[in-house]
């Protein structure tokens, strides 16, 4: 596999993982880098004539500059907007890591960078015994953490960073994403995160639900990401 892979996780669900993952894709593509993306398992999908489609996976597909089939970007899609392991169980489907491996390999061989977005938080389950953290460890890929800026984010961010490191994976950087327009003491919270997370902050996205995707991409400190690891 030729690609450098990054696993985008978050402090919780709804914190902006797709926003950041798509921005990473656009930022890398703007530099002429071949970038693919993947949402291995997604729930909350809509039935279309082509089959179940997930809004996050479609956003990644639109942001990447490597051509791929939807099924490669999102191998497992489930309709209910519930935890993926529950959705899979209700659908009578076992999430097979070998299926995910094949999609990952096809995307990786075509790209220089592969952005993999999880679902929910870092420890969100995939089945009775494994979760997204196990998938990242299975692929041994570095992690980018999206911190949803709201009350409680300090604890969630530090616990997640600690769990990533305990699994022997590298936290390549983190992005602060505004999700609560009433969040108090923003500057103080950002300072605390910068002081307590050793990985570099790759960007701050203020609360702006309709922000231009290319503007978000330009707001990423891509040089800091590239400096923290070699592009293979």
In a 13 Å sphere around the CA of 223, the CA atoms on its Cβ side amount to 0
User: Pick from 131, 140, 143: which is nearest to 172 by CA?
Assistant: 143
In a 13 Å sphere around the CA of 7, the CA atoms on its Cβ side amount to 25
User: Pick from 72, 90, 70: which is nearest to 81 by CA?
Assistant: 90
For residue 39, indicate whether it is catalytic. Answer: yes
Q: DSSP character for 69? A: -
Of 39, 85, 150, 172, which one is the catalytic site residue?
A: 39
Distance from chain centroid for Cα 16? 9
Rounded to a whole number of angstroms, the CA Rg of the chain reads 17
SS3 (DSSP) at 124: coil
Contact 200, 228 (CB under 8 A): yes
Active site residues per annotation: 39
């Amino acid at each position: 596999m030729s690609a450098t892979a990054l696993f985008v996780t978050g402090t919780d669900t709804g914190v902006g993982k797709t926003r950041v993952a798509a921005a990473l894709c656009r930022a890398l593509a703007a530099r002429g880098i071949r970038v693919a993306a993947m949402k291995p398992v997604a729930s909350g999908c809509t039935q279309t004539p082509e089959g179940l489609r997930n809004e996050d996976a479609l956003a990644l597909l639109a942001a990447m500059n490597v051509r791929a089939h939807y099924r490669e970007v999102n191998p497992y899609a489930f309709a209910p907007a519930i935890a993926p392991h529950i959705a899979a169980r209700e659908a009578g489907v076992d999430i097979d890591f070998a299926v995910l491996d094949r999609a990952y390999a096809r995307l990786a061989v075509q790209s220089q960078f592969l952005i993999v977005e999880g679902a929910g938080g870092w420890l969100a389950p995939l089945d009775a015994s494994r979760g997204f953290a196990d998938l990242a460890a299975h692929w041994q890929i570095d992690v980018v953490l999206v911190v949803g800026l709201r009350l409680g984010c300090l604890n969630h961010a530090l616990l997640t960073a600690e769990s990533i490191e305990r699994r022997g994976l590298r936290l390549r950087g983190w992005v602060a994403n505004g999700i609560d327009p009433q969040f108090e003491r923003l500057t103080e919270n950002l300072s605390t995160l910068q002081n307590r997370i050793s990985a570099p902050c790759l960007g701050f996205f203020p609360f702006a639900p309709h922000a231009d995707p290319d503007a978000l991409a330009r707001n990423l400190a891509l040089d800091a990401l590239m400096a923290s690891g070699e592009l293979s």
